[in-house]
Amino acid sequence: MVSTDRLLAFAAMSLLVIVVPGPSVLFVIGRALAHGRRTALASVLGNFIGSYLLVVAVAFGLGSLFERSLTLFLTVKLAGAAYLVFLGVKAFRHRRELTVGAMDGPERPARGDLRTVADGLAVGVTNPKGIVFFAAVLPQFVDHSAGALPAQMLLLGLVPIGIGLVSDTLWGLTASAARVWLGRSDRRLSAIGGTGGLAMIGLGVTVAATGRTD
């Protein structure tokens, strides 16, 4: 299986990559600002599942397809970008529904827990940063002489996924706390919700405009 030195080296590499906020962090922040803590945490869970699906895909050979096929990579990337823009537009259009009175009641995700988790999953599985990292970096840390390569990748993949889970959760809690603190009036709360929507739209445009061009 995976040696301790390889595991630690991969953990260090993962931490360096995750420290720089990527689409998943900005997505969670946007959801937290637009809808609150519960939606943010459900989005984190969905992103966790989606990211690990990327690990599974790489472990069983699909990752090499993304690495070799620019068309496939661009298709997945643009699909994820379009979905981010869709969610951002939806949050911006419904920003006026956020009121202080509504926040006094039990917090509910915009489309229900399962749908919110599904949103996060879609963003996680189409995250260009995740696709590149898992397809290009993860295979370099397996020990080919030890065999069981898929099992090694599945184990190693838990490292960045776990770090990302903690990081995204902290970002989501911080952003949702700021939302509650700033949301002392309906006008300001509406502005915060709109900001979250615009952040997701901007993220979608950025994801579509950046990445592999070779």
DSSP reduced 3-state for 92: helix
Give the chain's domain count: 1
CB 47 within 8 A of CB 123: yes
pLDDT tens figures, 75-121: 766 776 787 788 778 767 766 655 444 444 445 555 578 888 998 89
Residue 57 main-chain phi, psi, to 5 deg: -60, -45
pTM of the model as a whole = 0.68
User: What does the pLDDT look like over 117-155, one tens digit per residue?
Assistant: 998 898 888 877 787 778 777 777 877 777 777 888 888
Q: Establish if 214 belongs to a structural domain.
A: no
Q: Are 161 and 55 in contact (CB under 8 A)?
A: yes
Q: Please report whether residue 195 resides in a domain.
A: yes
Domain carrying residue 26: 4-209
